[in-house]
Structure 1
């Protein structure tokens, strides 16, 4: 029982680390694509509000959220499948 709990905890930690890294990479990819398309970085909360159009803020938030969410979902699923494979291989008799 303790071994299963350890594996479950390890899978959760690995999933969190991978999902966090993928979310960061996805955000950087959106920032780069936005800059290539518009000539400037997407708006951030700390930017001066006088220079930002509301439509641009909404578009940047929607695009970033969608890309990060999809990336995290696929990373979490992939990590889960990987951990299941590792666990299955550990249980095979040698």
Structure 2
């Protein structure tokens, strides 16, 4: 079995943080956009409200799509950072 190339620990941490931050920002953008367009926040699972099924599905699909796209861009950026980190002698490789 071929060994995977090692990724510096710093790059992994940055990738995780970037993906989490991107997901949070994307969720906030969807919430505020929904509020501006519909006059209320999108329905959530824990809400006891009387939102219709179509509104629940639309909110879930929109939120999921925006969060997924944001995480892809964050992950790609982190991968570029990892490539840079591998070639930069000033960034320590903590995988050893």
Give the shorter-chain TM-score range: 0.7 to 0.9
- Alignment match, 1:80: 79
Runs of 4+ in 1 over 3 A off after TM superposition: none
- Alignment match, 1:41: 41
Write the distance in 1 (CA, Å) between the matches of 2:64 and 2:23: 10
TM-score when scaled to structure 2?
A: 0.80
Shift of 1:5: 4.7
Aligned length: 86
Structure whose residues are more often helix by fraction: 1
TM-score when scaled to structure 1?
A: 0.82
Shift of 1:54: 0.4
In structure 1, stretches of 5+ residues that fail to align are: none
Deviations 1:50-94 (A, max 9, x none): x11100000000000000000001100011102211321328xxx
Write the distance in 1 (CA, Å) between the matches of 2:7 and 2:67: 28
Shift of 1:41: 0.2
Write the distance in 1 (CA, Å) between the matches of 2:7 and 2:64: 32
- Alignment match, 2:13: 13
